[in-house]
Homo-oligomer: A and B are copies of this chain.
Amino acid sequence: MGKNEETRELIIDSARNRFLQYGFNKTTMAEIAKDCGMSASNLYRFFKDKNDILVEMTERCFRDTENCLREILRRPGMSAAERIKALVLEKLHINYDMIANEPKFNEIVMYITSERSDIVCRHKDALISSIAEAVAEGNRNGELEAPDIVKTADMISKATIMFGHPMLMNGYSLQELEDSATEIIETLVQGLRRR
């Protein structure tokens, strides 16, 4: 890995800790720089501005999630139903962990959602792609009958939207969320089954 890329990672990690713990506005460039052992002005050699650090942090976070989901697609011996459920539950767990452990997660999500909906959309599309792969697999092995794969995947993502939005998860225990997600997916898959 290039030295330059290493420094960028160090900065993103330092910023991430501060942003999620204290919030974006309450974190100063000087603090991030101090955590990295450099001056504030030097941060600008690696990132355009403070917002840019947040954006790249978010994209990295989304990329990690997407990799998790792709890993689930590669697991052997799962039915399409099981795979779709695993995808949604994985996203749910990642979100739940963040809500539980990172005080300012909600604030950061709201900020990104309102200011950079394009990034959120791209992530949502990646999610739909993963679900689509599982649906396609279900079609191939005769478990499902979904003529329009992407439309079906999009439908599934919309029906499970509350497990990807921290705001909507508020007030439910992890158990309740898992149960609800499971019931929705099992009913949907049952409705998509080849008869």
Contact = CB atoms under 8 A, between A and B. Distances in A.
Contacts of A192: 187, 190-191
A80 interface: no
B168 A155 contact: no
A105 B170 CA distance: 22
Contact of A191 (B162, B168, B191): B191
Contacts of A162: 158, 161-162
Contacts of A190: 190-192
A55 interface: no
B180 A191 contact: no
A158 B184 contact: yes
A169 B5 CA distance: 39
11 contacts: A155-B183, A155-B184, A159-B160, A159-B184, A159-B188, A165-B168, A186-B191, A187-B191, A188-B188, A188-B191, A190-B192
Given A151-B183, A155-B180, 10 more contacts: A117-B171, A158-B184, A159-B159, A159-B160, A159-B188, A161-B161, A161-B168, A187-B192, A191-B191, A191-B192
- 4 A-B pairs closest in CB distance: A191-B191, A190-B191, A187-B191, A159-B159
